[in-house]
Amino acid sequence: MKVGILGSGDVGQALGRGFAARGHEVMIGSRNPKGEGLAKWLRAVKGKATTGSFEEAAKHGEVVVLATRGAAVEEVLKGVGHARFDGKVVIDVTNPLADDPNLVPFVGMTDSLGERIQRALPRARVVKAFNTVPNTQMVDPKFSGGTPDLMICGNDAAAKKAVAGIVKEFGWPGALDLGGIEGARWLEASVSLWVLVGMHIGRWDHAFKVVHG
């Protein structure tokens, strides 16, 4: 599979490593594709990987991962051109974290960045996934209490099935499908709780698990 990743931060690099190591052809898109950070990543990555502009990465991917800073993602999509995403599975990992010490998401409770992205890309098949877990656990997750299913949501059943396949390929037991893209309101809001929990347990490799009787 050809995968385009928009964003070269910790998330883009971690998912890029995961896809490449599993035989997929990865291109990471960045404002600075020839910079030292990505050159180092390219030297270390196992498998087929390249870097390019955001536009080149979006064009390359049959599946496109959005891994830019939340506040920048809509501008990045506009720069690429919305039609470039038509028909593609778009995995949205972004979170609308404001530069706010209280970590209040900048979108509010009646909308979400996931929904804004789906509205901006009406013919893309957006699936919110991986945004609730730290980049260090996205691929080959290891949790002392057992690995949970990864929470995802989106409007397109076939796209969610494809993403659930990727989730399993990355070592998760499966995906917990939380319905339409409006579920992104709560997947995104949970990140503020995730940070609060991290501050109180003093570590950043945790995730939420649904348990029931």
Enumerate binding residues for ligand NAP (CB under 6 A). 7-12, 30-32, 67-70, 72, 75-76, 93-95, 97, 131, 134-135
CB of 53 to ligand NAP, least distance (A): 9
Of the pair 157, 193, the CB lying nearest ligand NAP is at 193
Of the pair 68, 112, the CB lying nearest ligand NAP is at 68
**Alpha-carbon distance values, 41 to 10, 12, 14, 15, 27 (Å):** 10, 10, 10, 12, 12
CB of 9 to ligand NAP, least distance (A): 3
Residue with smallest beta-carbon separation from ligand NAP: 9
Of the pair 99, 158, the CB lying nearest ligand NAP is at 99
CB of 182 to ligand NAP, least distance (A): 19
| CB neighbour list of residue 72: distance below 8 Å, 6 or more residues apart | none
Q: Checking DSSP bridges between strand 175-177 and strand 150-154, what pairing results, if any?
A: parallel
Residue 86 and residue 39: Cα distance in Å, rounded? 30
**Alpha-carbon distance values, 119 to 7, 68, 112, 138, 192 (Å):** 20, 18, 11, 26, 24
CB of 212 to ligand NAP, least distance (A): 25
